[in-house]
Structure 1
Amino acid sequence: MCFHWIRKHINAEIRHLVHEIQRLDLEIHQIEGQIVTLQAQVQHQQEQIDQLQEQVSTGLTTNPELYDYFVHKIGQEVRVDTTSVILTGIVLTVAVDAVELRESGGDIVIIPFAKISSAQ
């Protein structure tokens, strides 16, 4: 009789441990998913940091708003104000960090976005 009670108790304990192992396995799987997500976020942030360091070291900055503005103005005349000069010309091409204009006199100028204070 005592043997039967011990065996029943051991089987119950084994079932409990199996359930705990399954629960912990599920938690491990969820944590692994969170780790993958966090690693992707860290990689994305590192890429942003690298891009910002590049911009700081070269002095050339990207500006999506200026880029979009000038892309829509290709072939049209614009006025660009910088800290030292006001330029007017036809937008020839746009890079991720600068715009190229042809002034009325025929001169071609490249203006880095970092130097632009306003554009019309």
Structure 2
Amino acid sequence: MNSHDNCIFCKIVAGQIPSRKVYEDDDMMAFHDIHPKAPVHFLLIPKSHVDSLAECGPAEGEVLARMMLKVPELARAAGCGNGFRTVINTGPDGGQEVYHLHVHVLGGPRNQWKVSLP
């Protein structure tokens, strides 16, 4: 059994767990966070399992670049024309809870966020 066999995000990619999809192509998928911290809060993940940003190497470079270039497009489409925040939690001390690389994209009026901003 591979470590990704029990990965909730791999199961979402496989269609075994429902999600509120924002975007999907051959390499990545975006869906709404089930515990949103802002009026707009979705996750963007690579479809191929990689535990965290710390585990990425040259093989993940192209999909990482495509993901980062997709974020502004998806954020604008979600109504974040006045800005957005991206967060990648990495490892236990970085607050990572699901060990499948994912980018949080948060936006909307700052006074409606459930997290404090510096």
TM-score greater than 0.5 by the shorter chain:
no
Give the TM-score normalised by structure 1. 0.23
Give the TM-score normalised by structure 2. 0.23
Q: Which has the higher contact order (CA 8 A, sep 6+)?
A: 2
Question: Which structure has the greater CA radius of gyration?
Answer: 1
Bigger helix share: 1
